Amino acid sequence: MERTVRIIGAPMDYGANRRGVDMGPSAIRYADLADGLERAGVDPIDDGDLTMPRAEERDPDADQPRRGDAKFLREIEDVCKRVRDRVATTLADGEFPLVLGGDHSVAIGSLTGSARDADLGAIWFDAHADLNTPETSPSGNVHGMPLAAALGRGAFGETEWAPAPRLQESSIAYVGLRSIDDRERELIRESEITAFTMADIDQRGISAVVDDALAVATDGTDGVHVSLDLDWLDPKTAPGVGTPVRGGVTYREAHAALETLSRRDEAEGILRSMDVVEVNPILDEGNETATLAAELTASTFGKRIL
């Protein structure tokens, strides 16, 4: 039966330290996302974009947590609640939610929506750990905190909107880490999260690492959320991101990783939701990064060379 993929645009840049990532959903659509999904054999339905005020119209410090620093927290809460509800409704309707960011803080909404009625695992394709809290963040930018928020860590544990109670910490796997704050390094070591760094990919190959990540994310869960941050790739391949880090995966490694997910999903139906984030057209070159985001998304849903 053909899968229906509902595209949910979340053009939010409140969590980032550089403007422009709010144009990411439009850039990814312009890069023929829908056509790529159709060629992959799924039926895309575009819900359009959630509306939200520009960051320049808001005070980033208007609603700070009781401890620490988290900029634009009120606005991020509002958007993530709406993303959460849209994702949960999409799943209830028997469709697959594909959230287009926007900065990575939209993943709080993706995760809480996907985990509303299911035990959820997650694979986090990212250069960064995103495990800071308002208390540990050196910047206060929430795009460095979404996984901590969904796990209810720090000040986020005092909120009702951020934690995803059925997101299982032991069923989360990072793939491709290479830029981790000192405190995050300690938190990862103390946690039940499995972390595969770029060194693991260098030593073992991307397909073996993704197979192991899938074993983690599917263990005792009802489905897997895929979070794809385009800064996971090397900036020579994906220049249009706000926090580039040298030494990321190559174009072919990225496709191989997502094709590995797709093959497992075709066999077992493991994938439950996905977000694609941190495409910044202002920093891009000829919409190259948005095009890559669209291509990788199509690979996740089964597009192949043959």
Q: Is residue 65 part of a domain?
A: yes
Give me the catalytic one of 104, 259, 265, 295.
104
Q: In this predicted structure, what is the pLDDT of residue 215?
A: 98
The verdict on whether 234 is a catalytic residue reads no
pLDDT tens digits, residue range 37-64?
999 999 999 999 999 999 999 999 988 8
Strands of the chain (E only): list them.
4-10, 43-49, 96-101, 120-125, 167-177, 194-197, 223-229, 271-277
pLDDT tens digits, residue range 226-236?
999 999 999 99
Question: pTM here?
Answer: 0.97
Give me the catalytic one of 75, 229, 259, 284.
229
Question: Whole domain around residue 82: which residue ranges?
Answer: 4-301
Q: Is residue 232 part of a domain?
A: yes
Question: Could you give the number of structural domains in the chain?
Answer: 1
| Backbone region of residue 4 per phi and psi (left: phi > 0; alpha: psi in -120 to 50; beta: other values) | beta
Q: What is the mean pLDDT of residues 222-245?
A: 97
Q: Is residue 306 part of a domain?
A: no
Give me the catalytic one of 103, 128, 184, 255.
128
Q: In this predicted structure, what is the pLDDT of residue 306?
A: 55
What CATH code is carried by the domain that includes residue 159? 3.40.800.10
The verdict on whether 255 is a catalytic residue reads no
The verdict on whether 225 is a catalytic residue reads no
Q: Is residue 148 part of a domain?
A: yes
CA quadruple 113, 100, 34, 91: dihedral, nearest 10? 0
93 pLDDT higher than 80? yes
Q: Is residue 214 part of a domain?
A: yes
Annotated binding site: 104, 126, 128, 130, 229, 231
The verdict on whether 119 is a catalytic residue reads no
The verdict on whether 143 is a catalytic residue reads yes
Annotated binding site for Mn(2+): 104, 126, 128, 130, 229, 231
Task: Return the number of other C-beta atoms located less than 10 Å from residue 165's C-beta.
Answer: 13
Contacts 24+ apart (CB under 8 A), 201-210: 201/175, 201/176, 201/249, 201/253, 206/249, 206/253, 206/256, 206/257, 206/260, 207/256, 207/257, 207/260, 209/175, 209/257, 210/123, 210/175, 210/256, 210/257, 210/260, 210/261
pLDDT tens digits, residue range 189-202?
999 999 999 999 99
Q: Is residue 111 part of a domain?
A: yes
Q: What is the mean pLDDT of residues 117-133?
A: 97
pLDDT tens digits, residue range 248-292?
999 999 999 999 999 999 999 999 999 999 999 999 999 999 999
The number of angstroms, rounded, from the C-alpha of 106 to the middle of its chain's C-alpha atoms is: 8
Q: Is residue 235 part of a domain?
A: yes
pLDDT tens digits, residue range 71-82?
999 999 999 999
110 pLDDT higher than 60? yes
